[in-house]
Amino acid sequence: MDLLWDGIKEAFRLWIRGDAEIIEITLRTLAVSSLATAVSLLLGVPIGAALALKRFPGRRPLVALVNTGMGMPPVVVGLFVAIMLWRSGPFGGLGLIYTPWAIVIAQFVIAVPLVIGISLAAIQTIDPKLLDQMIALGANRLQLLWLIVREARLGLLAALMAGFGAVISEVGASIMVGGNIAGETRVLTTATVLETSRGRFEVAIALGVMLLVLAYLVNLVFTSAQQRRPA
């Protein structure tokens, strides 16, 4: 318990002191995870909507693939992305390995199945008769899209929170594709692993507390929007 308490005190000390390295790592963590989540939403929600609303040959295997991807181990994702971005890999010429962009790509691959799967489930709860009625009344595609987002907003916000929570807490893939390089690719999770391996448990606990607080504050904003009563 003393070690845990020392770690919490160390976290407060680092916050109060405004440690430059900790601020840099925290801001990088927030930027990388937010970008990966945003891209997964831009691609995942339309794909989830298409799978929910359309019937076509091969749909069930695709949905099963999405559901499998929702539980995909991050280290497997890291291995796959590392192979693709490695210097001798298909995209090695882009020079993305061991950069923040590599972490964004890996986190996107982790988040997008979650976004697709939860969006699909949320949109499937919309009464098809409501959509048919809107079409009969002459609604265009943009109006239908707005109706779908409005009716499934709680589930879509859940997809957002699930995707963000998955990537901000991820460590294995980030180390594999980012390398945990100080000042470049080090994020809160990888920094916590590093400090633990060095035996600096107080600093590791402080980093872990910062990660929890950051995740809580972001999800508090999302939860407030999700639980707000409609006018």
Tens-place pLDDT, residues 50-90: 888 888 888 889 999 998 888 888 899 999 999 999 988 89
Asked whether residue 175 is assigned to any structural domain, the reply reads yes
Asked whether residue 8 is assigned to any structural domain, the reply reads yes
Phi-psi label, residue 138: left if phi above 0, alpha if psi -120 to 50, beta otherwise: left
Tokens of 32: 């990388």
Tokens of 104: 């964004």
- Report the chain's mean pLDDT, rounded to a whole number: 85
115-154 burial, b at 16+ Cβ within 10 Å, e below that, comes to bbbbbbbbbeebeeeebeebeeeeeeeeeeeebbeebbee
Q: Residue 208 corresponds to which amino acid?
A: G
Residue written as token pair 């890999």: 89
Asked whether residue 169 is assigned to any structural domain, the reply reads yes
- Residue 40's pLDDT is 94
Asked whether residue 231 is assigned to any structural domain, the reply reads no
Count of the separate structural domains present in the chain: 1
Exposure on the CB side of residue 113, measured as CA atoms within 13 A: 19
Tens-digit pLDDT profile for residues 112-163: 999 999 998 888 887 777 777 776 767 676 777 777 777 788 888 888 888 9
pTM summary value: 0.86
- Residue 176's pLDDT is 92
Asked whether residue 21 is assigned to any structural domain, the reply reads yes
What is d(CA 67, CA 52) in angstroms, rounded to the nearest whole number?
13
Tokens of 85: 């971005």
Asked whether residue 213 is assigned to any structural domain, the reply reads yes
- Residue 231's pLDDT is 52
Grouping H, G, I as helix, E, B as strand and the rest as coil, residue 189 is helix
**Under 8 Å between Cβ of 48 and 118:** yes
* CATH code for the domain of 128: 1.10.3720.10
Domain that holds residue 56: 2-226
